[in-house]
């Protein structure tokens, strides 16, 4: 087979495989929660067909491992459909693990991974057979079809029919589709959107033509009045002077030229209006149709989240129910792609930080099962709001203040003056986390800044609300599409800016005599409530217009973002309408308060502002990050490493010394405690399972010593169960790193955050 063709075929298979895996995962999760017999039969039939179709596709491209796994899944799904087996939580866990194997075989794997996957598969089959032994009607699953002999036999076996059939036995004809690379659609849409600039310019030209026509009409009216009053073109029997004759002739000729100009101008205007109507109609049709190809239902990303929640809750020992709403709400695919990572961060935080362990929830009078809700809803046709909420323990603002203080982000005086809303904003600062411990899942204080950065990049806003003991809600407001937006065009310091209309509550003309001062900041009344008055020039670092006297009135935009409201003073209001949104390239994406640019119909460039970042700038005040300076003053840190394995000690010593730290070694917990009491260390890295004194006991001893209790402790261990992680947290550890997911850069990142 031609290698280039095979490469394209494998690329197509990967896309198809991901669709099947995603569909099976979603259906499997749904199957766990339903009781209706008919619905169970329908779902298991769907699962069987998905596995069967994927098996045939895998055989076509020669990936026999996936074919073998799918054959086993077919057997199990067929058994479940017949009711021969009563499915349990353990059976579902094993099926999810098997589907995960398909994903790993699809994305590519090394020989070591392949051997590991074969072993995992054999273990799953063995456990399934053990479960089925106790159920008389259950079949026995054949021994591993992933062995070389079985794979070879599978290659030689006759191809099975791979077409799904309906109830009558007739093949089901799929809807005819064509796979097109997403980048081609994006490129096509961008080219069509560029026509919007042409359309806007054409509309602007028509406005100029109409203005000229009105001016000529006014001139004609005035000219006729003069002619009638002074009889310029008639001598009425009187002999005119030669000069008067020349003047009269010139005026008459000028009048004829103006009449000709008027006729031609009217003709151009009529043609222009007709052309503009056709251009607008065809542009809108083509633009909408192409844009609709990129408008995907929110289920495009939502369907992946139930499995993520299920796997995380199982790993952390939580019981969590995920509720989804708004699957059919359509959003620009590019926005959905950008949102996937932030939403996964929010989900991980909700499961890890928010929802409590079952025993703790019951003790607090809650149901053992926690609830996470993700809802998508359209707002006014141009915005979409995504809500992520949980019914967990909420976010402790005092913990955020303490974390920010430790990192040198705020001073004690600033912490004392902060209200809950200001303290909550700290969650979006890098390396600030409310988690008492760092794990391989969360606690590094990096997730929320990423969420904030992504939302700002998309021109949206993010708001968080928490109630201690009740839960936390995040609201993300974003444009439905990245292509166009409605905006208020304003002039500031002779430059043009666009503020998205969705965030502008009102445009006000404010008397300067009504401006008051509160806490050294100018304020105005809005809905009988004082709001800060900020000059947009000041926020953007531009010079204010020089005026001899203070004007009697100011023009201001009342902007509201995620419950925060402010009045932005501007020089003048230009217009309000639809503009083509052009995001900045990578060099400008980090420029604060700006999100993109547009070309107006007049040909002038206007910068599109980011309301959420504008609000952050207003509220930031004197808060600044001084962590880098503090780190430079502190110099290299001193670290004690405790581990009974000489190999592990040497490896950790090499990693840490290469990063510039001074390292001291201890052979176990007793040796480590003795060295800690006689030396001075900025941080302790310790194994858990050690002779004489384990890592948990070592950590407790450090926390019970008044002189040592503030020293950060990082546990590095092979123990990965939720119970072990809970013991680590209870002992007072600041971070818990599992050796199976150990990564050198992650360890250094954790240490940098703690000292």
The answer to whether residue 444 scores a pLDDT higher than 70 is no
Of 169 and 251, more confident:
251
pTM of the model as a whole: 0.53
Adjacency order of strands within the sheet including 735-738: 662-666, 638-642, 683-686, 713-717, 735-738
Segment of 256-260, 296-300, 621-625 carrying the highest mean pLDDT: 296-300
Phi, psi angle pair for 87, to nearest 5°: -65, 140
Report the DSSP pairing between strands 320-325 and 370-379: parallel
Query: What is the per-residue DSSP string for 219-267?
Result: HHHHHHHHHHHH-TT--TTSPPPHHHHHHHHHHHHHHHHHHHHHHHHHH
Q: Specify the pLDDT at position 270.
A: 77
649-667: pLDDT as tens digits: 877 887 888 778 889 998 8
Q: Specify the pLDDT at position 376.
A: 93
Q: Which of 258-272, 422-436, 670-684, 720-734 comes out lowest in average pLDDT? A: 422-436
Cα atoms found within 13 Å of the Cα of residue 73, Cβ hemisphere only: 34
Adjacency order of strands within the sheet including 553-561: 504-511, 553-561, 564-570, 529-535, 521-526, 516-518
Beta bridge partners of 8: none
pLDDT confidence band for 625 (50 / 70 / 90): very low
Give just the sign of the alpha carbon dihedral 621, 622, 626, 627. Answer: negative
Q: Specify the pLDDT at position 388.
A: 94
Q: Which of 489-493, 596-600, 684-688 comes out lowest in average pLDDT? A: 596-600
How many Å apart are CA 152 and CA 27, to the nearest integer? 32
pLDDT confidence band for 525 (50 / 70 / 90): confident
Q: Are 711 and 681 in contact (CB under 8 A)?
A: yes
Report the DSSP pairing between strands 713-717 and 735-738: parallel
Q: Which of 742, 600, 496, 521 is closest to 197 using CA atoms?
A: 600
pLDDT confidence band for 698 (50 / 70 / 90): very high
215-262: pLDDT as tens digits: 777 777 777 776 666 655 544 444 445 556 666 666 767 777 777 777
Phi, psi angle pair for 328, to nearest 5°: -90, -5
Residues with Cβ < 8 Å from 656, sequence gap 6 or more? Answer: 639, 641, 663, 685, 748, 751
pLDDT confidence band for 741 (50 / 70 / 90): low
* Residue 486, number of CB atoms within 10 A of its CB: 17
Q: Are 31 and 47 in contact (CB under 8 A)?
A: yes
Q: Are 313 and 320 in contact (CB under 8 A)?
A: yes
* Average pLDDT estimate for 380-386: 81
35-63: pLDDT as tens digits: 887 888 888 888 888 888 888 777 767 77
């Amino acid at each position: 087979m031609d290698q280039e063709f095979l490469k394209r075929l494998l690329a197509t298979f990967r896309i198809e495989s991901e669709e099947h895996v995603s569909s099976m995962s979603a259906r499997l999760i749904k199957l766990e929660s339903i009781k209706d017999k008919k619905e169970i039969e329908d779902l298991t039939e769907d699962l069987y067909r998905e596995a069967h179709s994927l098996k045939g596709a895998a055989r076509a491209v020669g990936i026999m491992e996936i074919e073998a796994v799918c054959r086993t899944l077919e057997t199990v799904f067929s058994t479940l459909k017949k009711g021969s087996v009563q499915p349990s939580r353990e059976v579902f866990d094993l099926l999810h693990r098997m589907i995960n194997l398909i994903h790993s075989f699809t994305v590519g794997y090394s020989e070591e991974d392949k051997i590991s996957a074969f072993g995992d598969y054999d273990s799953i089959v063995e456990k399934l057979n053990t479960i089925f032994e106790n159920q008389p009607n259950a079949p026995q699953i054949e021994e591993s079809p992933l062995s070389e002999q079985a794979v070879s036999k599978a290659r030689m076996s006759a191809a099975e029919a791979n077409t799904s059939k309906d109830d009558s036995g007739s093949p089901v004809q799929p809807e005819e589709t064509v796979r097109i690379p997403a980048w081609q659609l994006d490129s096509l849409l961008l080219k069509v959107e560029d026509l919007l600039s042409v359309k806007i310019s054409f509309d602007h030209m028509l406005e100029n033509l109409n203005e000229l026509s009105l001016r000529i009409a006014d001139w004609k009216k005035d000219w006729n009045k003069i002619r009638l009053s002074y009889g310029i073109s008639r001598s009425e029997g009187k002999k005119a002077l030669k000069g008067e004759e020349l003047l009269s002739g010139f005026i008459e000729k000028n009048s004829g030229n103006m009449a000709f100009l008027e006729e031609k101008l009217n003709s151009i205007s009529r043609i222009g209006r007709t052309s503009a109507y056709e251009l607008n109609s065809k542009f809108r049709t083509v633009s909408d149709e192409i844009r609709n190809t990129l408008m995907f239902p929110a289920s495009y990303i939502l369907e992946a989240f139930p499995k993520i929640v299920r796997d995380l809750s199982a790993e952390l020992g939580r019981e969590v129910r995920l509720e989804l709403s708004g699957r059919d709400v359509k959003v620009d695919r590019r926005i959905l792609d950008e949102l996937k990572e932030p939403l996964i961060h929010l989900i991980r935080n909700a499961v890890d930080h928010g929802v409590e362990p079952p025993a703790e929830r019951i003790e607090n009078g809650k149901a053992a099962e926690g609830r996470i809700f993700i809802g998508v809803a359209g707002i006014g046709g141009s915005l979409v709001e995504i809500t992520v909420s949980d019914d967990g323990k909420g976010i402790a603002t005092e913990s955020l203040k303490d974390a920010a203080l430790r990192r040198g982000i705020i001073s004690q005086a600033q912490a004392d003056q902060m209200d809950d809303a200001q303290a909550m904003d700290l969650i979006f600062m890098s390396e600030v986390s409310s988690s008492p411990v760092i794990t391989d899942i969360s606690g590094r204080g990096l997730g929320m800044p990423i969420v904030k950065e992504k939302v700002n990049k998309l021109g949206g806003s993010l708001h968080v609300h928490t109630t201690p003991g009740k839960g936390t809600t995040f609201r993300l407001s974003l444009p439905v599409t990245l292509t166009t937006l409605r905006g208020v065009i304003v002039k500031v310091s002779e430059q043009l800016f666009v503020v998205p209309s969705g965030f502008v509550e009102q445009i006000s003309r404010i008397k300067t005599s009504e401006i008051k001062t509160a806490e050294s900041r100018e304020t105005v009344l809005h809905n009988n409530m004082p709001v800060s008055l900020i000059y947009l020039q000041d926020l953007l670092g531009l010079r204010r217009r020089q005026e001899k006297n203070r004007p009697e009135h100011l023009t201001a935009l009342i902007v509201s973002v995620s419950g925060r409201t402010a009045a932005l003073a501007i020089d003048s209001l230009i217009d309000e309408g639809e503009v083509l949104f052009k995001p900045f390239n990578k060099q400008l994406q980090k420029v604060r308060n700006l999100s993109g640019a547009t070309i107006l119909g007049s040909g002038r460039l206007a910068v599109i502002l980011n309301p959420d970042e504008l609000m952050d700038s207003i509220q930031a005040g004197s808060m600044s990050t001084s962590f880098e300076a503090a780190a430079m003053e502190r110099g290299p840190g001193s670290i004690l490493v405790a581990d009974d394995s000489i190999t592990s000690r040497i490896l950790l010593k090499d990693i840490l010394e290469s990063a510039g730290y001074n390292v001291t070694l201890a052979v176990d917990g007793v040796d480590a405690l003795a060295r800690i009491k006689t030396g001075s260390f900025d941080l302790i890295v310790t194994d858990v399972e050690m002779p004489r004194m384990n890592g948990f006991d070592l950590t407790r001893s450090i926390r019970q010593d008044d002189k040592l209790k503030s020293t950060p402790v990082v546990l590095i261990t092979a123990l990965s169960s939720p119970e072990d992680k809970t013991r680590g947290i209870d002992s007072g550890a600041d971070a818990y790193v599992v050796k199976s997911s150990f990564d050198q850069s992650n360890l250094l990142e954790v240490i940098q955050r703690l000292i």
